[in-house]
Structure 1
Amino acid sequence: MKWKIIPFEESSRELVRHLEVHPLLGQLLLNRGVEDSREAKRFLFPTLNDLTNPFRMKGVEEGVRRVIKAVLKGEKITIYGDYDVDGMTSVALLKGFLSELGVSAEHYIPKRLEEGYGLNPEAIKFIASKGTKLLITVDCGISNRDEIALAQSLGMDTIVLDHHEPPEILPPGIIIDPLQRDCPFPFKGLAAVGVTFLFLMALRKMLREEGFFSHRSQPNLKRYLDLVALGTVADVVPVVEENRIFLKFGFEELQKTPRPGLRALKDLSGLGDADINYEHVAFRLAPRLNAGGRMQKEEVPLRLLLSEDEEEAQELAQELEEANRQRQLTQERIYAEARQRAHELRDKPAIVLASENWHPGVIGIVASKIAEEFYRPTILIALDGSEGRGSGRGIPEVHMKELLEHCRDLLVSFGGHKSAAGLKVKREHLEAFERSFLKAVEEAFGGKTPLPSLLIDLALSLKDITLPLVDSLELLAPFGPGNPNPVFCSNEPVNIESLRRFERDVTRFSVVGRGRRYEAVAFGPFPDPPPKAMIAFVPKKEFCEGYLRLTLEIKGLKESKS
């Protein structure tokens, strides 16, 4: 793996000179695109007031006025959501807020295997038959022009709250998507639940201005940030701008959430009342919630999020726990098979695999693991009869949806964004699709084979790794895509001593240099290190036998020739 070390800039010290923080934070902020002291203060000490005015998003004002009309006239509202965590939390957020306005909105979650992603004509007809006058789609709808036209013909107005790439011709109705053309909202990386939250900020403001809350309390939107944090992390959007604010305050709300369902889920995940971070949501809570949609229990996660009964919440959480166990077993089986087959394709620019024995609800997770391990854009396809459903995951050098655009004529349907995409393909077109996709990837690579690289924020001496520095790094949190945990490297070779190996691929050893000795830990397969090496690491605090120590989590190691 190639190391890319960002050079230190003396001007970085000026960036944080008046903020009373560790001076090295200036360089770390520069590395994250922060270039002036005002931006630095907003990054290190954000508030909810730093959120951009939601009325700057195209369509918000019109959408808010349409919802207010429905609320005042008592029209029936139905929310149509996706079956993943972003979709479920968006539905729960919108239903909860409307409930506080005295509106009992209906909802519709499509069945993943039977109906697939997005709106479908039969669902639209069913929703219309129930007397719905206002249909609000969340985390879907932007690509459903025909279905929304059908809704319109059946007497329903539609508001689309989405964050996916819009098509050239938008659906009829009120479209709220920061990616749509001419939308002046500055941040384009929101999850659907973030779009929904900002929409509700605007709705509450307009209701307040029109006197709606004169004789009733207004909803406290801050307490909904636990849902926003869940959906934002689960959809793997960049942890910058609005998303970073959502997560900073959302994790606090999630830690103390009053929702019985989330409390039960946290207990089953081993979190209890612990402080919440990105990894807790990404690897413990989100997979359990997503297991519902993956294992044909689409309604269970939403019922869990909305439940106000402790006993019911415990039962629903247990049901998701069992679904997640089944998902893990299915995933391990598919991964073992896909990985073996992927080894035969190592020389190709991308990996495309298909099987009749794969579960379509799990192939996306496996595709992500294969793409990361082999560093190739990867598409796995679950075949069923004459058709196959595929899930693709990319690498930083390519845009998955744009790659599929080159194969449009061979696909029944497709959608997605830069890092992930979904598709449907006829079995008879599978080989031609594979050839077309491989050609598109090869052209995107420009004839060069990409290699994974490790971006290093700063080269330091071991004597520079201190507790005040590590404490100050917490101001950069929450970490995640777009705002990774800072990675440092030694600026000279260090001695490697006292190697110890433990279960589950955990390796510990000591690093010694410049009169300092630190405990180091590496996770995963780790070859025997040389006696002297350059190391790349993330410094962390660790409690050991009742006392606090600094530990270096190893991200890379290079043998020193000196």
Structure 2
Amino acid sequence: MRTQARAVNREWDLRETNFSKQLRLFRARQRKTSKIHPLLAELLKKRGIKGRRLREFLKPSLSAEQKKLGTIEGIREAAEVFKKALRSRQKIAVISDFDVDGICSAVILKRTAEAFGCKCTVFSPERLKKGYGLSKSLIKKAAAEGAKTLFILDMGSNDYQEIAFAKSLGLEVVVIDHHKKTKEAEKVRGVAKAVVNPHFSKEHLPSQTLCSAALAWLMVQKATTLLRRDKRFNKAKQRGQRRAFQVSSLLPYTALATVADVMPLLGFNRAVVKRGLNMLKRSSHLGLRALLSTLNIRGDIKAADVSFKIAPVINAASRMMREKYKGKTAGELVVELFTTSKKGEAQRISNFLLGLNLQRKEEERKQLRRCISLVSKQRKLSPVIVVVDNSFSAGILGILAARLVDKYKRPSFVIKKGRNGLCVGSARGIDGIDLARAIRGLSHLLERGGGHKKAAGFTLKESKLRAFKKGIEKAVREQLRERSSRAIATFSDEIRIRVADILEDGKKIIEDIQKLEPLGYGNKEPEFYLEGLEVLGTKVINGRHLRVWLREDNLCIYGNLWFFDGELKAGDKVNLKAHLRLNKRHREYLPEQQAVELEIVECQKSA
């Protein structure tokens, strides 16, 4: 994946450590015993991963990590409801969110239900017309299907009135969600048959790092286990159905949701994603195969492939679909993709989603320029970016906010003014700022709102915009406390290295970085820091990227700065923050050592 390179002027706290000396010592001490390059072993040690934990980290066991989760409140009650529906072949209704997590949660339940002969109908909100969240209109549709059981996925924890309405219609309601609770949450417990949400506990639990799809998978696993123990279900025909269906076949959907919803890739999540992505590349599910084929993804699938290729295409449906497709909303359409038994239909839907994503990219480029223009007009940047305009597309507000975070390193709020006096907004955050907490603190100004630490959405009246801007800036300032809005980057967790070490050990380091997969939030890709390099020459590529030729102690190396918006020229001295890459395109023409190059993430001119 190409990471945008940035020119930075902020202070870098590069603590004095002789990494070259460490490297020689580690080579001598660990070459015979270590299963991973010494520099990476030292990095993991700084992250608290060593000894037995290192072995478990490199080869995570799904069953062992699942045991560490302990008992998740509500799982057994939800599993009993699901088991009862499967055993009696009841109609099941599902209402899920339209993002990857909600969709994958619905696919997990629908595929399981249909494997046991139950009819399962999935409903999802229309993002661009109805917005996010549970609604009475969706509940009425579920009841009209004749369902007796309703599963609400990736939402519902705080929707007391809607769930009480569902109960009044005779529906048995189960909520599986991972969003933080509000005051309404305890009321929801009172009317729902079961609520699975680790955040309802006052204690800090390992399961609070799970997405809704992971919770749904654990519930399905529990339900099918209970079903196997049920003697009344032990009939020949149903035994055959059980043998044909394996809960583990649904792990690819859990992996997709975990990565797309930016869950920390440690512990149970790491085990799920590692195994799920390995299964994804050889899955027999037609929808998954069609999507991978459409995106030209072959071979080993990494978490970055999910983040930057697969998830954007899935999410493009809800972001760009202004009308239903063959009577289906965006979320319902993607569920159809992942559950269809028709190869041609799977390919048609995949192609349609790819087209929507291309439209999304073009719209994003145009509107990002507008966002940057609005920010540039501000006299002084506050600790939080807030941009408001009536030309923004409601479907890509979150992406625009994320791009502003990348550029300005501040929590960013992008708000679209509506014609009816209502504004809809999306926010993305930075480390150390809890957006969900900030949003909850301003609930008196909002029509609705919620989210996670680093991502949130909200709706408010235009008349309250001014108060909201002041309130959110105050909330962010309080969370920052004494931290300056121009944060100091501390790299003590990472690796300082010299060009000589890269040329000697670069290929081995890159090979061993693959052992750290899946890489992402909570387990970020190692970043290497180089100081005092001289720029020998530069070349602009496609008008947007910069290729540089760098020298240190008469040793040279190539580097690439993607989407670089700074200036570099021959003779400049620079400090770099970079990833190591193999030059696959031109390595047949390069010396063996030059097959390794730098993907530069940040570039700072030095004295």
2:260 aligned with 1:234: yes
Distance 1:339 1:494 in 2: 31
Q: Cα gap change, 1:26/1:157 in structure 2, threshold over 3 Å: closer, same or farther?
A: same
2:329 aligned with 1:315: no
Aligned to 2:368: 335
2:489 aligned with 1:453: yes
Distance 1:7 1:187 in 2: 38
Q: Cα gap change, 1:151/1:16 in structure 2, threshold over 3 Å: closer, same or farther?
A: farther
Q: Give 1:460 deviation, angstroms.
A: 2.2
Tell me the C-alpha RMSD between the 2 structures.
2.7
Between 208-217 and 128-137, the greater mean CA deviation after superposition = 208-217
Aligned to 2:303: 278
Q: Give 1:352 deviation, angstroms.
A: 2.3
Q: Is the 8 A contact 1:90 1:193 kept in 2?
A: yes
Q: TM-score, normalised by structure 1?
A: 0.91
2:171 aligned with 1:156: yes
Distance 1:91 1:509 in 2: 47
Distance 1:232 1:376 in 2: 25
Aligned to 1:521: 560
Q: Is the 8 A contact 2:12 2:488 kept in 1?
A: no
Aligned to 1:511: 550
Give the helix-richer structure, 1 or 2: 2
Distance 2:314 2:390 in 1: 26
Between 534-543 and 356-365, the greater mean CA deviation after superposition = 534-543
Aligned to 1:470: 510
Q: Give 1:50 deviation, angstroms.
A: 3.0
Q: Percentage identity across aligned positions?
A: 27
Aligned to 2:582: 541
Q: Is the 8 A contact 1:56 1:185 kept in 2?
A: no
3-state SS of paired residue (2:395): coil
Distance 1:330 1:482 in 2: 31
Q: Cα gap change, 1:514/1:199 in structure 2, threshold over 3 Å: closer, same or farther?
A: farther
2:382 aligned with 1:348: yes
Q: Cα gap change, 1:15/1:199 in structure 2, threshold over 3 Å: closer, same or farther?
A: farther
The match for 2:392 among 351, 354, 358 is 358
2:73 aligned with 1:58: yes
Q: Give 1:383 deviation, angstroms.
A: 2.2
Structure 2 letter corresponding to 1:46: P
Q: Cα gap change, 1:546/1:343 in structure 2, threshold over 3 Å: closer, same or farther?
A: closer
Higher relative contact order (CA 8 A, sep 6+): 2
2:477 aligned with 1:418: no
Q: Is the 8 A contact 2:96 2:122 kept in 1?
A: yes
Q: Cα gap change, 1:64/1:7 in structure 2, threshold over 3 Å: closer, same or farther?
A: farther
Q: Is the 8 A contact 1:57 1:183 kept in 2?
A: no
Aligned to 1:251: 277
Aligned to 1:190: 210
Distance 1:366 1:63 in 2: 37
2:593 aligned with 1:552: no
Distance 1:508 1:82 in 2: 42
Q: Is the 8 A contact 1:80 1:137 kept in 2?
A: yes
Q: TM-score, normalised by structure 2?
A: 0.85
Aligned to 2:3: none
Structure 2 letter corresponding to 1:500: K
Q: Give 1:544 deviation, angstroms.
A: 4.0
3-state SS of paired residue (2:152): strand
Q: Is the 8 A contact 2:319 2:360 kept in 1?
A: yes
Q: Is the 8 A contact 2:94 2:142 kept in 1?
A: no
2:135 aligned with 1:135: no
The one-character-per-residue Cα deviations of 1:422-473 (angstroms, maximum 9, x if unpaired) are 1110122222222222222233333632336363612223333312222112
Q: Is the 8 A contact 1:15 1:37 kept in 2?
A: no
Distance 2:396 2:521 in 1: 22
Aligned to 1:30: 45
Q: Give 1:327 deviation, angstroms.
A: 2.2
Q: Give 1:92 deviation, angstroms.
A: 0.9
Q: Is the 8 A contact 2:94 2:153 kept in 1?
A: yes
2:37 aligned with 1:3: no
The one-character-per-residue Cα deviations of 1:491-525 (angstroms, maximum 9, x if unpaired) are x5344334333225332233344564333222221
Structure 1 letter corresponding to 2:556: R
Aligned to 2:336: 303
Q: Cα gap change, 1:453/1:505 in structure 2, threshold over 3 Å: closer, same or farther?
A: farther
3-state SS of paired residue (2:60): coil
Aligned to 2:55: 41
Distance 2:12 2:250 in 1: 41
Distance 2:556 2:292 in 1: 37
Q: Is the 8 A contact 1:350 1:378 kept in 2?
A: yes
Q: Give 1:161 deviation, angstroms.
A: 1.0
Between 449-458 and 131-140, the greater mean CA deviation after superposition = 449-458
Q: Give 1:41 deviation, angstroms.
A: 0.7
Distance 2:278 2:490 in 1: 31
Structure 1 letter corresponding to 2:216: T
3-state SS of paired residue (1:179): helix
Between 451-460 and 250-259, the greater mean CA deviation after superposition = 451-460
Structure 2 letter corresponding to 1:220: Q
Structure 2 letter corresponding to 1:485: E
Q: How many residues align?
A: 558
Aligned to 1:289: 314
Distance 2:13 2:336 in 1: 46
Q: Give 1:532 deviation, angstroms.
A: 4.0
